A = this chain, B = another copy of it.
């Protein structure tokens, strides 16, 4: 029997974060996808328009295309009368030319007819038969959307690194693109370790528990720009871990959960160490102390604690920043609320604490039950962080709750 191997030294959370940041290199891999699927994705090309948007001068209002000079000094008391000689709707081109004393009825978006240089709004006219009385003057180009006013041919729209949102996808559509080159989503392989871990839906034998972490980790990964690749649960021995490492060679991040604590079978440290480099093992963090992090080739490897709530809080504090860096997404800004703490919280471990709370009547009520309880998190609304140096947060003190 070999003795158990406690984690003798931990590093501060800030140091762990700095090491993570250094190790997490933004991915260069790209893929071309349909613009309809590109919301939230990161542009990997220079987007330069080859067309003018709009592609022609067009009416910006429903009304009448006129020669502006014909309307000068028009008023409700002294309207100018113009003869409507045609009408043109969107998608049509008028073959008629506007000359002095005439106008053409136009719909918003319709090409401005030849000869016209402005549009009078329908609301500012009064029509009887073909005669249109204009009650307000317009200046040249008024209510005209000019060719290229939105985007001109040759204009650079986006550069690599821009995150696409609905309006940016709209701009890609506006210039006629059907697809766009984006950075690939980091592939995150997820493997629960442990002989006791069973998939939901299976009966539990004595000593067995259901796999939770693969579900919580997958959901976090997918929400933060990654592609989760679930590996079957890995037995707690070095050969099995080595095999899992071999089988996930095509991923960018490999996340084991369980197997990184201090027992003899907590072999993850050794598994990473054999295949690559351990960067740190043990963080002054509660929960989440027995966390290993390293690199195998270009892959980042996390050894998360097996406890579901520890694994998940670690995912928020450590995995999400690394994943978003690989994905070239901006740092995550969780929604926060600032409320008074409902009762005193004592945190004398000397570790940075991730502390779950519920929001009740405008206060933050501690929701932490016991290390590992998933209901500590699933019945919480968010969490507060208590720095390692802080021992007590008093009731009534304002805390910043980061919402789940």
Contact = CB atoms under 8 A, between A and B. Distances in A.
A202 B178 CA distance: 9
A195 B89 contact: yes
A110 to B, nearest CB: 7
A108 B35 CA distance: 48
A117 interface: no
Contact of A109 (B62, B91, B123, B196): B196
A62 B173 contact: no
B166 A312 contact: yes
A322 to B, nearest CB: 17
Interface in A207-265: 207-220, 222-223, 230, 236, 258, 261-265
Given A62-B266, A91-B195, A109 B166 contact: no
Contacts of A215: 35-36, 166, 169-170, 172-173
A312 B54 contact: no
A265 B258 CA distance: 65
A4 B312 contact: no
Contacts of A149: 369-370, 373
Residue of A93, A202, A212, A370 with most chain B CB atoms under a 10 A cut-off: A212
B174 A212 contact: yes
A84 interface: yes
Contact of A167 (B92, B177, B266, B404): B404
A51 interface: yes
A189 interface: no
Contacts of A369: 149-150
Contacts of A39: 219, 222-223
Contacts of A89: 195, 236, 263-265
- Say which size band chain A's interface belongs to: 35 or more
Interface in A68-87: 84, 87
B166 A219 contact: yes
Interface in A19-58: 35-36, 39, 51, 53-56
Interface stretch (A296-304, A347-355, A374-382, A385-393): A374-382
B374 A171 contact: yes
Residue of A55, A216, A223 with most chain B CB atoms under a 10 A cut-off: A216
A127 interface: yes
A302 to B, nearest CB: 16
A365 interface: no
Contacts of A127: 3-4
A164 to B, nearest CB: 8
A140 interface: no
Contacts of A275: none
13 contacts: A1-B105, A1-B130, A4-B62, A36-B215, A36-B230, A51-B204, A89-B264, A93-B207, A150-B373, A168-B378, A170-B213, A170-B308, A173-B214
Interface of A: 1, 3-6, 35-36, 39, 51, 53-56, 60, 62-63, 84, 87, 89-93, 105-111, 122-123, 125, 127, 130, 145, 149-151, 157, 165-178, 194-197, 200-202, 204, 206-220, 222-223, 230, 236, 258, 261-266, 306-309, 312, 315, 333, 335, 369-375, 377-378, 380, 404
Given A109-B306, A123-B262, 20 more contacts: A1-B130, A4-B62, A56-B207, A87-B264, A89-B263, A89-B264, A92-B207, A145-B372, A149-B370, A150-B370, A150-B372, A157-B375, A166-B215, A166-B223, A168-B378, A169-B219, A170-B213, A170-B377, A172-B215, A174-B209
